Structure 1
Amino acid sequence: MAAAGLLSAACSTPPASSPSAGTLLPNENLFVQGIPPIPMSLVRQVEQYTNFRGHGFVEWHPQKSEMLVTHRKAGANTAQLFRATAPLAPLEQLTDFADPVREATYEPTDGRYLVFSRSADGNEANQLYRLDLDTRKVSLLTDPDERHGIVDWLHGRSELLVTSVPLDRTAQEGTRANPGTTLWLIDPLRPEARRKLAELPGPGWFGGAVSRDDRRLAITRYRSATESQVWLIDLATGTPTQLLPAKGEAVKATHFPIGFKRDGSGLFVVSDRAGEFRELMLHDFASGGLQRITAHIPWDASGVALSDDGAQIAVRMNVDGRTELRIFDADSLRERPVPPLPPGSVNSVGFHPATNRLAFAIDSAQGPNQLYALDAADRTVQPWTRPYVPPGLDAASFLPQRIVRWTSFDGREISGVLSPPPARFTGKRPVVVLVHGGPEGQASLGFLGRWNYLINELGVAIIEPNVRGSAGYGKTFLTLDNGFQREDAVKDLGNLLDWIAGQSGLDASRVLVAGGSYGGYMSLAASVHYAERIAGAIDIVGISDFVTFLNNTESYRRDLRRVEYGDERDPQMRKFLQRISPLNNAEKIEKPLFVVQGRNDPRVPWTEAEQIVEKVRANGVPVWYLRAENEGHGFARKENADYQFYATVLFLQETLLKAEGHDRLATGAPPP
């Protein structure tokens, strides 16, 4: 905590007056240190690229032909809930909070109210609220000293299953705890009468589906990225019983429940127990057998929706970073043909309870999320929303992304997504290596939002690597960075630098590494190991010391993270984690560093940022630091995200682009 105290007491960099004097003032929630004043000339050149606005699918209305969607309206700071009453109709706003609202569910009989989830200032302590649609009155349903998750509605009556986990608020120096999970049954019209159904050991219980007779709940118990279980809970007694893997079965794999077969004879699940990839399967209750449904597709089933009548299954298949839609008959388990869809990746799916029309979202390098409805009966696809692209920008002209591959130190093939700049930029192009979080995340084909400014206006190539430990390439690949193998993923970055050096159109002397969360750690690790080969690094809510991270992350996450990174209580592992942590190798960081952090981050506490800033700066290395007092694990408010991106462009200008004269941005001159 000492580093945090020292930095917080320091004076933030004063902006050079005001927007009228030519600079952008940070808002009152931003702590700015070491960042030069941001010229309004830069803001004017970049701001168009901060205003793309797509739509996220949440749920269909149970009776009406209406969608519940998420969207950030013009001039707003956060995404909120809206009602789409017809295809391409103007949206009706339902919520309006300072914090984003992205998860909600309709009361399932007539949709007279909805229940939504919201946290405060990025703390992820989700609370549940009832929104009465006639009056727009909002009522709190849950205990603020716990974090809560929506599980599923009962079929016979409007009661909702909810999980609750106690908080210790470590980011605010709260108490330590070893939390369990409570399963509740709540009538949202009478939340004070909630009924406790079960006390479940530890965190990691989520999702699930209720049987049609309301007797059983199938729920996930998540142990790690490579191990999860399906449990059945008797809703009359609260008794939990492990279903998959069966008790005593020597199988370590992932298992996720999707929904019960309509006659109650089986349960649809997703599991990788049969091979490298997660498949849709049907578990038969009578025989205990599992029937593989998507075994013929050698990629992960990354999202599944079951129609309300139990007749159809929509499956999103993650095919080498692009998500495709497949539809299956729930009785015969045979694949059905899907009509041609708009180009791009399918990001979410959901069947209408009454009509079985399938809502889905599409995005691509050429545009943000757009919602459609597929009518399987007449094989028509109808757009429901139209994403907003700022005037003067033609997103359809943005170049396609492509998958690139290179060989790593051990002969293993590693891949990534390359977003190339337009052909008008000649000569070898500078590169930003953008590393995803997780570490069990995945870089995939899709819209890059603000980052398109770097590609289309500055001629920067962006490469998003899927280093070992990334999802989407099989469960073996997923584990190759665990524990003592952590720095093998860092070596994959080093071999990417070799690959860049061999490309005629890329400039290996001008490479910057950036990333968020685990990607923030990777940017720091690259600064340690490849200081002579990079121009700088951007660490966004990243881990700087694995031991302090594991000690201070929220208790409901700690054991899950120990499986991935190693258990710091083991002396040998603790020694290893201390040896590889960037904080303990800060003297090797020689190139400029930009650190971004949310003060309320429950995952990677803010102290991880403060301690690396102090130590690297003590070595005389330039360090820019941006902390938002009203954010958590990344910036969700547009005004904060905008300032962060303007500062990012300025940082790139200082570290990566001066050789091409991009310092003219500061004077308002157009880039070449």
Structure 2
Amino acid sequence: MRNIRGFERCAAIRRSAGLIAALLLAGCAAQPSHEQRGSLRIEGAGQPNAQRQAALKAYQDVRGARFRGWLNESALVATRFGELTQLHRVARPLGMREQLTFGAQPASLAWPPPVADAQGFVFASDVGGSENYQLFWFDLASGAATLLTNGRSRYTGVRWSRSGALYAYSTTERNGRSWDIHVRAPGGAPRVALETDDVGWYVQDIAPGDERLLLSRYVSIGETYLYELSLTGGGLRALLDTHSKIGIGDARYARDGAAVYFSSDLGGEFRRVQRLDLATGRIEALTDAIPWDVEAFAVAPDGGTLALVVNERGLSRLALLTLPERRLLALPELPVGVISGLAFSSAGDRLGFTLSGPQTPSDAFSVDLSTRKLRRWTRSEMGGIEADSLVVPEPFEFDTFDLGRDGSVRRVPAFAYRAAGPGPHPVVINIHGGPESQHRPRFRHFTQYLVAELGITVIAPNVRGSFGYGKHYLGLDDGFAREDSVRDIGALLDWIAGQEDLDVQRVAVLGGSYGGYMSLASMVHYPDRLRAGVDLFGISNFVTFLEGTKAYRRDLRRREYGDERDPEMRSFQERIAPLNQVDRIAGPLLIYQGLNDPRVPAGESEQMVAALRARGIPVWYIVAADEGHGMRRRSTRDYVYSATAEFLARYLLDEPE
């Protein structure tokens, strides 16, 4: 088979100019062997080992389910029984999953109306991972799904009114960049509620009476603005001081519409739930006693209960707070893990959510508010693996290179998934993306496989810039401090060298998206300390990334990474780019990329692969023609992680080809 894509890539490079183009052309001189496997193009990868693949398959067979809301008396969940995730209805706890959607593309986002007699629900789906989500109406009576949107633009963030008579959402329909707000009644035509010149506008809530929208404008994780829009007069007013930069998470109207609850780091390091009186402007903190981020909350339909999810060192804690008394209610013990997707039932008698833990795949749960009993709606299949055999990560901290605000050595939080036995064990450093994300102890099938089957200890650091440790820590990697987070990896390598059960001579690094950049940058800065690297759809040059990412998200990323149009910042970004420092990389890399990625464009991986090959560095390159930012098809995910297992076996474990 001819290397068509390689020829196209080289032709594009020949039309460019400069040093990087010269390096890339050198990489075109000798195209590696390749294989076409369905939509996957595989270049330079080794052949799978049957025994390893059989062991990995059990972990790949583990299934999960995510709670998407209450559909009358049933739970609406997203789960996968074949190649793609689809939406299912579960009529009772641990009942049968009834598949509702059967599209040729994944359907995992859904918004059922918060009423007791819903006739259907809105869901979203895109094509090939493009993230140009289209909205559909699913009719419960007929089982038919009807396209509601234009088939081209991006529509997301649906929010229903309490009456179920109206829903609102964000869209780029007008010009492909600006985030406008549309409102719509079920069965009716859309109406433009707000046109903007900005990005990052979201609908947070619809006021009782359906005449006002609560909106937020996200600039960065530490800068969000809250507004109220009149649907009758069209007036838009800021609800908080627009001169103060604060991070805001959820925001909801009180039951009477006279106040707004919002989670924010206003006045502190961590996000607290606060109450804003819309008439007086008075702000009152409701969760002062909680010294961690309230990462999500939901208000009961009667307004008398606030459900909170607290992020405590990466673990979720569920709490119920009575209003206005602010009394904490006792709750049943939950499995250790991460909670998301809070939603009260229309009657307010049940609180549903998703829970995922190291020994528990994502599943749908609820708490009965009258009995305070925990009910499990789905029990996902474990692929023959015993849950008790799965490793629970140990939280720890390590010293890094600089001092904290109190003058003591700064410490970086991390999780260690330790292999059994005395060791010394090889290590994979798994770096999260975001960058304002956080490694948390969810179920991770590949991590569990590496630990149990290959004897690898996996360490997941939450380097500076990670969410969950206060807004000061969150901002430590901004702008010209970008490479300080890479220096945290150097400090982690120092810590590994001091552990008797870890083999400092056998360490690899792995990450996706921004974590992919961190993997590449770590390979640049620590070539004599890292055996190999895995870069999943990562950034190789912030300049080309910002110029190539989709227009509707470009300004959001400039706030985090710096504006490449500023000469000083551009020079800095070019200087730190792994693409421009390929000559410092010594170890082999596995790189995966979805061709339809709207976030990190495919060119980021393409140019890195060519530059590495020009230097003679071994590269295993996997390209998916029908994926975007990630791996949503099971066949893609299974192959990429199978190849990664082979890559690590060869280059980290020193197993023969």
Q: What residue in structure 1 maps to residue 54 of structure 2?
A: 44
The answer to which of 348-357 and 559-568 deviates more is 348-357
- 8 Å CA contact 1:151, 1:163 repeated in 2: yes
Q: What residue in structure 2 maps to residue 174 of structure 1?
A: none
- 8 Å CA contact 1:523, 1:538 repeated in 2: yes
- 8 Å CA contact 2:519, 2:534 repeated in 1: yes
Q: CA deviation at 1:331?
A: 2.2
Q: What residue in structure 2 maps to residue 519 of structure 1?
A: 515
Q: What residue in structure 2 maps to residue 33 of structure 1?
A: 43
Separation of aligned partners in 2, 1:157 and 1:301: 28
**Which amino acid letter does the alignment assign opposite residue 121 of structure 1?**
G
Aligned equivalent of 2:180, options 156, 179, 182? 182
TM normalised by structure 2 equals 0.93
Measured against aligned partners, the alpha-carbon deviations of 1:8-46 in whole angstroms (never above 9, x if no partner) come to 99867355xxxxxxxxxx632001111122244432232
Aligned residue pairs, count: 630
* Shift in alpha-carbon separation, 1:251–1:434, aligned structure 2, 3 A: same
Corresponding position: 1:214 with 2:224: no
- 8 Å CA contact 1:366, 1:396 repeated in 2: yes
Q: How does 1:51-90 map to 2 (within 5 A)?
A: 51-61=61-71, 64-73=72-81, 76-90=82-96
SS in 1 for 2:581: helix
**Which amino acid letter does the alignment assign opposite residue 419 of structure 1?**
Y
- 8 Å CA contact 1:509, 1:533 repeated in 2: yes
Q: What residue in structure 1 maps to residue 484 of structure 2?
A: 488
The answer to which of 223-232 and 393-402 deviates more is 393-402
**Which amino acid letter does the alignment assign opposite residue 405 of structure 1?**
E
Separation of aligned partners in 2, 1:347 and 1:27: 35
Separation of aligned partners in 1, 2:327 and 2:261: 14
SS in 2 for 1:46: helix
Separation of aligned partners in 2, 1:389 and 1:361: 17
Q: CA deviation at 1:112?
A: 1.2
Q: CA deviation at 1:338?
A: 2.0
Corresponding position: 1:253 with 2:249: no
Measured against aligned partners, the alpha-carbon deviations of 1:429-464 in whole angstroms (never above 9, x if no partner) come to 000000000000101122111321111011100011
Q: What residue in structure 2 maps to residue 327 of structure 1?
A: 320
Measured against aligned partners, the alpha-carbon deviations of 1:210-237 in whole angstroms (never above 9, x if no partner) come to 1112121111110111100111000112
- 8 Å CA contact 2:301, 2:346 repeated in 1: yes
The answer to which of 46-55 and 537-546 deviates more is 46-55
Measured against aligned partners, the alpha-carbon deviations of 1:237-280 in whole angstroms (never above 9, x if no partner) come to 22211112x35xx4211134522111222100011011111111
Q: How does 1:347-366 map to 2 (within 5 A)?
A: 347-366=340-359
- 8 Å CA contact 1:317, 1:323 repeated in 2: yes
Aligned equivalent of 1:112, options 115, 119, 130? 119
Corresponding position: 1:409 with 2:401: yes
Q: CA deviation at 1:608?
A: 0.3
Q: What residue in structure 1 maps to residue 24 of structure 2?
A: none
Q: CA deviation at 1:2?
A: 5.4
- 8 Å CA contact 2:426, 2:504 repeated in 1: yes
Q: How does 1:206-605 map to 2 (within 5 A)?
A: 206-244=202-240, 246-247=241-242, 250-391=243-384, 393-410=385-402, 411-423=409-421, 426-605=422-601
Q: Percent same amino acid among aligned pairs?
A: 38
The answer to which of 346-355 and 492-501 deviates more is 346-355
- 8 Å CA contact 1:99, 1:637 repeated in 2: no
- 8 Å CA contact 2:170, 2:203 repeated in 1: no
Q: CA deviation at 1:417?
A: 1.0
- Stretches of 4+ moved more than 6 A in 1? 6-12
The answer to which of 611-620 and 442-451 deviates more is 442-451
Separation of aligned partners in 2, 1:119 and 1:518: 23
Separation of aligned partners in 2, 1:386 and 1:10: 50
**Which amino acid letter does the alignment assign opposite residue 13 of structure 1?**
S
SS in 2 for 1:101: coil
Q: What residue in structure 2 maps to residue 13 of structure 1?
A: 33
The answer to which of 466-475 and 5-14 deviates more is 5-14
Separation of aligned partners in 2, 1:12 and 1:532: 26
**Which amino acid letter does the alignment assign opposite residue 119 of structure 2?**
R
Task: Point out where structure 2 has 5 or more consecutive residues left out of the alignment.
Answer: 1-7, 14-26, 403-408
- 8 Å CA contact 1:313, 1:329 repeated in 2: yes
Measured against aligned partners, the alpha-carbon deviations of 1:129-172 in whole angstroms (never above 9, x if no partner) come to 1111222211110122320113322344522212211498xxxx
- 8 Å CA contact 1:12, 1:32 repeated in 2: no
Aligned equivalent of 2:608, options 612, 626, 647? 612
Q: CA deviation at 1:360?
A: 2.4
* Shift in alpha-carbon separation, 1:330–1:637, aligned structure 2, 3 A: same
**Which amino acid letter does the alignment assign opposite residue 333 of structure 1?**
R
- 8 Å CA contact 2:133, 2:154 repeated in 1: yes
Corresponding position: 1:145 with 2:165: no
Q: What residue in structure 1 maps to residue 171 of structure 2?
A: 164
- 8 Å CA contact 2:436, 2:467 repeated in 1: yes
Q: CA deviation at 1:478?
A: 0.7
**Which amino acid letter does the alignment assign opposite residue 103 of structure 1?**
L
TM normalised by structure 1 equals 0.91
- 8 Å CA contact 1:4, 1:611 repeated in 2: no
SS in 2 for 1:214: coil
* Shift in alpha-carbon separation, 1:338–1:620, aligned structure 2, 3 A: same
Q: CA deviation at 1:78?
A: 1.7
* Shift in alpha-carbon separation, 1:30–1:530, aligned structure 2, 3 A: same
* Shift in alpha-carbon separation, 1:9–1:220, aligned structure 2, 3 A: farther
Separation of aligned partners in 1, 2:277 and 2:563: 37
Q: What residue in structure 2 maps to residue 19 of structure 1?
A: none
**Which amino acid letter does the alignment assign opposite residue 417 of structure 1?**
F
